[in-house]
Amino acid sequence: MNKKQLKKQIKASLKEQGFVINKNRIELPSDIVKNKIRELHETSVRHKRENASNNLKKGEKRLIQYIARGSEIDPERIRPSLITVTPGSIEELLFRYASLHWSIPVSSGYGRRLRFLVMDSHHEKLIGLIGLGDPVYSLKARDDWVGWNSEQKKERLSHVMDAFVLGAVPPYSYLLCGKLVAMLAASNEVREAFMEKYGNKETLIQKKVHDGSLAMITTTSALGRSSLYNRLKYQDRLLYHKVGFTKGFGEFHFLNGLYDEIYKYVSRNFEPTSKHASWGNGFRNRREIIGKCLKALGLTSDWLKHGIQREIYVIPLAENTRNFLQGYDNILIEYNQSVDDLFEYFRERWLLPRAARNNNYLNFDPQSYLLWEQGG
């Protein structure tokens, strides 16, 4: 595809997704609401499903067995447990399969990664997903909340992870288990898994041995303001703190069939820019690749500004998270909140009252969850 054709295809793709092109820039439609935001993501989600590996398609019959039928769930007997996802396992296939059902395209995470299935150990079914990866370096709302300077951030950002996926699958989602999954991300077990995987390991860039302490998790809402994380508490303590909104930059609107062409164009016309041997010998990330392409086509990198602002949350995991991240404290005074304790609170506060007043979960049929068997 030549330069002229690629430029034409990019504009056509953005219009098809629902963006408005106005004087060589893109804008959101004027009537933007959550459903409209979902529609803007549809192309990228559909492309991600189309590119799903044959293992997922071939294994769908097996994977669907982990999705519960609503009528077989007894809310009184739900018992969550965290299962760590390991490469090449059935758990990894199930994580990838379930993430294809999200209404926005799920990232694979950056750098370090910890992934968990939240399983119902009584019913032996999937409740939801937790995916943690490296945080972005520049996030003003987070940095303002922590109160660190550039040197402190450089020294301590490795003690922060970002939740790139958090959520429940049906029928558990009908029982407000999205809140449960969000709570479990802050559990002792997640901190311990981080410690086990990254404690006493040398950091990639700074070449320093990491003590394995996880001080904070960040996340962003999927669709504007979040009802899932808002005012989410454990006992009397707020778990998720709202700190602001993203600026609406990203690349999801280019991650469809055109990204491969964009990558080919940049690879042919630009030199790789990775500055560190451990990063490999290519370009730093997708955003850089798309930005270079846009500029070369005369569209400017402003086209990366899709305008969808996502609410930013921080989840401190210790009483002294701020002091630790600022470098004033060297030992975390961690909150003691196990999976079992968090679940008992959730069970009484949300699960059982929801089940008593709304039994829609009973109608869920896992056949409706199939992606390929029904041609979805």
pLDDT confidence tier of residue 156, bands split at 50, 70 and 90:
very high
Of 2-6, 102-106, 200-204, 222-226, least confident by mean pLDDT is 222-226
Say which residue, 320 or 310, is predicted with more confidence.
320
Task: Indicate if the pLDDT at residue 343 is higher than 70.
Answer: yes
pLDDT (tens digit, 9 = 90+) per residue, 190-217? 999 999 999 988 766 567 788 999 999 9
Spell out the SS3 assignment of the chain: CCHHHHHHHHHHHHHHHCCEECCCCEECCCCCCHHHHHHHHHHHHHHHHHCCCHHHHHCHHHHHHHCCCHHHCCHHHCCEEEEECCCCCHHHHHHHHHHCCCCCCCCCCCCCEEEEEEEECCCCEEEEEEEEECCCCCCHHHHHHHCCCHHHHHHHHHHEEEEEEEEECCCHHHHCHHHHHHHHCCCHHHHHHHHHHHCCEECCCCCCEECCCCCEEEEECCCCCCCCCCCCEECCEECCEEEEECCCECCHHHCCCCHHHHHHHHHHHCCCCCCCHHHCCCCCCHHHHHHHHHHHCCCCHHHHECCCCCEEEEEECECCHHHHHCCCCCCCCECCCCHHHHHHHHHHHHHHHHHHHCCHHHHCCHHHHCCCCCCC
Q: What is the rounded average pLDDT of the residues 237-246?
A: 91
Question: What pLDDT is attached to residue 297?
Answer: 85
Query: With pLDDT > 70 as the criterion, what percentage of the chain qualifies?
Result: 79
Better-scored residue on pLDDT, 33 or 62:
62
More confident residue, 25 or 185: 185
CA-CA distance, 199 to 306, in Å (whole number)?
38
So what's the pLDDT on residue 376? 42
pTM (two decimals): 0.79
pLDDT band at 223 (very low <50, low <70, confident <90, very high): low
